A and B are shown apart, each in its own frame.
Chain A
């Protein structure tokens, strides 16, 4: 885990709002972790400790949760975080060849970040757009009916 000494939520109002939504502080664990990850791109140990303090559990216990969910990262991801859907429709329509292409082009495997820090690749489960398979998600937007050529163009444009 990369060490980042201090962590502070840049938007305390949102933290307050999330905490006020639940009768039990522990229930705010996941939304707060997402918020922290949104802010830094990944979860530093300082961030995990900060969230643990807010929901009043031990950071060790918080690690159970963080390591359980695949969408939380404990190391920095690339500037463009590429998520390739691996579920049935996308697999049938050539998601594997997309993964192979990205792996070869940027010399990265599942979960890795390219050396220049621009691209990171993970395989994910269904992104909810099976009719336009294969689907990938780059940062916060979905791209449908992907092909290798289309992917290269999109990456160039962003």
Chain B
């Protein structure tokens, strides 16, 4: 393996990697704009110039690979390459490159969305000169729409071509190209085919300056006001890693978060703009009970009393009377509690069913990015914790005598067809745990107020069997209770249990005790990158009720 020296640091590196990569791995800062780990290397921004001993001129570190020298030609007797990143000439060169990049760049940071997370700003501050020597007029162009969600500000663009390479290499859609050359060059749309692919929003993320802007976020907030939470996307079963930016419990935007085991560097636009669905939904603000054709608020104590009156009687009867409707939109922890409630308390008086899974078209990109057909985040978890799911629940229920129903609602995406609607209508008492007035909630006799997807905390298992942390980005409102807590109270009330979990961590630990696949998969261990289930290769056989004790 080649031994190189960057500044004062000796590093052993793999043969063939670039100087910039070696520096990034060793946390040595070399500034760059056009380089992006997911994209091909062009070396066009010239920001990463470094001095390499034996080379007459400065070299772009992003495109200089490290090889091995024969023993007699080693530098200082042992190094294959000696790189200097802090010499006078390198500093002067960075200053000069920045001066060129800023020639036509406006000084509009106070109104620029990128301010605060802008590499041009950061590097100008760190490496640039304090004053501009440019006396001529700047080239000014109008903003343009590249696609329905992306605006380009040509004046701010530094022509790093990350976005162009993205459309060629990652989305494979080729909408963008570099038009003309020199100071008249600009990013353009090829043949009026606008930038509207499923990954289009990522060009805003990867733009190192404020040239590409989201119509959804433009001029809405400043970066430094926003709090970033590391979480996962719940819009399909891939479970892309995201950063949720919010201020005062209002979400402003979602960005992709790097996770090479799941989504790489990018997310799709379904997830990126999907959070607006929860804002637009008609919200439930307190537990509600049906009264005179409408709903009226009820306290949690009252709601639990109602549940006790309705459900405790049915436990002594002979027949299956209770149906539980589980949901693949809920966390593993709440599904685990739900499975316990149904299988350990109601036992053979109950059956667990589910509504049909929400499915849509599946999309695969050549770069490996995929959007799953399964548009619910936790189907794997649902099947793990409720292994005795009844598929033919409608037929089964028609024949039997089910009269009580406890349903975890799927949320705003759920639509009910007539068959299911009449099924829910035929229930003597329907309890729905939800956050919004969905079609299902409208049929309920009692609505329990659970958290919305952005408020939920717990783990989710994606379609590859990877357990990931769903981290709440918005805090719970006054009357909302976590899903697992509601189910716990349900168990305590109806089943006379004395469960006293105080946090989702305790539920998670208990879950690990009872399900070997999830043993040791605590929040601390899975962290922000997730961990696969144990025994990932073996699929769980349908073990029936005995599986859960």
A contact set with B: CB distance below 8 Å: 1, 45, 58-61, 63-64, 67-68
Contacts and interface: CB of A to CB of B under 8 A. Distances in A.
B175 A60 contact: yes
Contacts of A60: 167-168, 174-177, 190-191
B499 interface: no
Closest 10 CB pairs of A and B: A60-B174, A60-B190, A58-B174, A63-B177, A68-B181, A67-B179, A60-B177, A67-B180, A64-B178, A64-B177
A61 B181 contact: no
Contacts of B180: 67-68
Nearest to B182: A68
A59 B193 CA distance: 12
Interface residues of B, number: 12
B166 to A, nearest CB: 12
Contacts of B181: 67-68
Interface of B: 167-168, 174-181, 190-191
Given A68-B180, A68-B181, A45 B168 contact: no
A67 B168 CA distance: 18
A64 B161 CA distance: 11
17 contacts: A1-B191, A45-B191, A59-B174, A59-B190, A60-B175, A60-B176, A60-B177, A61-B168, A61-B174, A63-B177, A63-B190, A64-B178, A64-B179, A67-B179, A67-B181, A68-B178, A68-B180
Contacts of B191: 1, 45, 59-60
A34 B178 CA distance: 20
A142 to B, nearest CB: 25
Contacts of A68: 178, 180-181
Contacts of B179: 63-64, 67
Contacts of A1: 191
B395 to A, nearest CB: 52
A59 B181 CA distance: 18
Nearest to A59: B190
Contacts of B178: 64, 67-68
Nearest to B173: A60
Contacts of B176: 60
A58 B178 CA distance: 13
Given A59-B174, A60-B175, A67-B178, 13 more contacts: A1-B191, A58-B168, A58-B174, A59-B190, A60-B174, A60-B176, A61-B168, A63-B190, A64-B177, A64-B179, A67-B177, A67-B179, A68-B181
A45 B193 CA distance: 14
B170 to A, nearest CB: 14
A60 B180 CA distance: 13
A56 to B, nearest CB: 13
Contacts of A61: 168, 174, 177
Contacts of A63: 177, 179, 190
Nearest to A45: B191
Contacts of B174: 58-61
A51 to B, nearest CB: 15
Contacts of B175: 60
A85 B179 CA distance: 24
Contacts of B168: 58, 60-61
A1 B191 CA distance: 8
- The residue among B167, B175, B181, B191 with the most chain A CB atoms within 10 A of its own CB is B191
